[in-house]
Amino acid sequence: MEDQKSSYKVPVTLSSASVYPLSVHDAFAMAKDVGYDGIEVLVTGNAASQSASALKELMDKYQLPILAIHAPTLLLTQQVWGSAWAKIERSVILAQAVGASVVVAHPPFRWQGAYAENFGEGVQRLIDTTGMKIAVENMYPWRARGREAKMYLPHWNPVPQHYQHVTWDFSHAAIANMDSRQAVEDLGQRLAHVHLCDGLDNGKDEHLVPGLGTQRVAESLQYLRDAAWEGTLAVEVSTRKAKNAGQKEEWLGKTLEFAREHLSASNDRNPMKQ
């Protein structure tokens, strides 16, 4: 295992979203068992996910760092940490407290008023005043009766926006029918964080094990490897349909192996030829 680890540079972390609705404690335990390099914490209603002291205890217990904090900007976390700006500001404070280098945030919904209208400027202001990377995640169009519903401001696609830092999610890209391989190249140094998974263009945000969907995930990782990318990566694979803890760990293990294979410096595949 140590020889395998020495052949790649990007740490492969596990998002606690991968074990939802289990707790962040369960995420640490599974990450340690499977062999991950660290954790991304999705802040939810779970008390430990919101507490710097609780997270530090878990870091010490499992000897795993937290490299990213995912702000509670999802629909299912609307009741966590109050106002929209408070969610991001408190996520930055939490990230600083536990030593994480990036905060992941979803773009705002159109109905969020001034927050949505001033989102880009506000995020940049927080980056400038705190030094924290706040990476805005790509989302996807919502469709109703065959028509796209305008859900996000300024848009679900961060590539043409002026965000300094971006998170790329392959499952979201699949729903949007986007080419992730081209997107990661277009983003260049703006790509700060990756959510590793896969998906299908079926309107469902499934967060599949890489290779089970239609996204060019392998080629994207190989491109990042060859470009000497220095961002952070978190596995965000849904395990809710797994029959037991053993199957969850199997899926997470397969995804970890996939990441290390395609990020490995010893891998002589050339993504430009695929």
CATH of the domain at 35: 3.20.20.150
Residue 134 lies inside a defined structural domain of this protein = yes
Q: For residue 145, what pLDDT is reported?
A: 64
Integer Cα distance of 9 and 198 in angstroms: 22
CB-CB contact of 88 with 73 (8 Å): yes
Integer Cα distance of 108 and 155 in angstroms: 9
Q: For residue 5, what pLDDT is reported?
A: 43
Q: Provide the number of structural domains found in the chain.
A: 1
**Residue 32 CA from chain centroid, whole number:** 19
Q: For residue 1, what pLDDT is reported?
A: 41
Integer Cα distance of 259 and 27 in angstroms: 18
Residue 185 lies inside a defined structural domain of this protein = yes
Integer Cα distance of 255 and 127 in angstroms: 31
Integer Cα distance of 56 and 39 in angstroms: 12
For every one of its 274 residues, what pLDDT tens digit does the chain have, with 9 covering 90 and above?
444 444 558 999 999 999 999 999 999 999 999 999 999 999 999 999 999 999 999 999 999 999 999 999 987 788 889 899 999 999 999 999 999 999 999 999 999 999 999 999 999 999 999 999 999 999 999 876 666 667 898 999 999 999 999 999 999 999 999 999 999 999 999 999 999 999 998 888 999 999 999 999 999 999 999 999 999 999 999 999 998 889 999 999 999 999 999 998 654 444 333 3
CB-CB contact of 260 with 4 (8 Å): yes
Residue 233 lies inside a defined structural domain of this protein = yes
Q: For residue 267, what pLDDT is reported?
A: 42
Give me the amino acid identity at 252.
L
Q: For residue 11, what pLDDT is reported?
A: 93
**168 — phi, psi (to 5°)?**
-110, 125
**Domain, as residue range, for 82:** 2-266
Residue 186 lies inside a defined structural domain of this protein = yes
Q: What is the DSSP string of 69-130?
A: EE-S-SGGGTTSSSSHHHHHHHHHHHHHHHT-SEEEEPPPBGGGHHHHHTHHHHHHHHHHHH
CB-CB contact of 134 with 103 (8 Å): yes
Q: For residue 151, what pLDDT is reported?
A: 86
Integer Cα distance of 74 and 213 in angstroms: 23
Residue 271 lies inside a defined structural domain of this protein = no
Q: For residue 203, what pLDDT is reported?
A: 84
Residue 133: strand pairing partners: 102
Integer Cα distance of 120 and 128 in angstroms: 12
Residue 155 lies inside a defined structural domain of this protein = yes
Residue 273 lies inside a defined structural domain of this protein = no
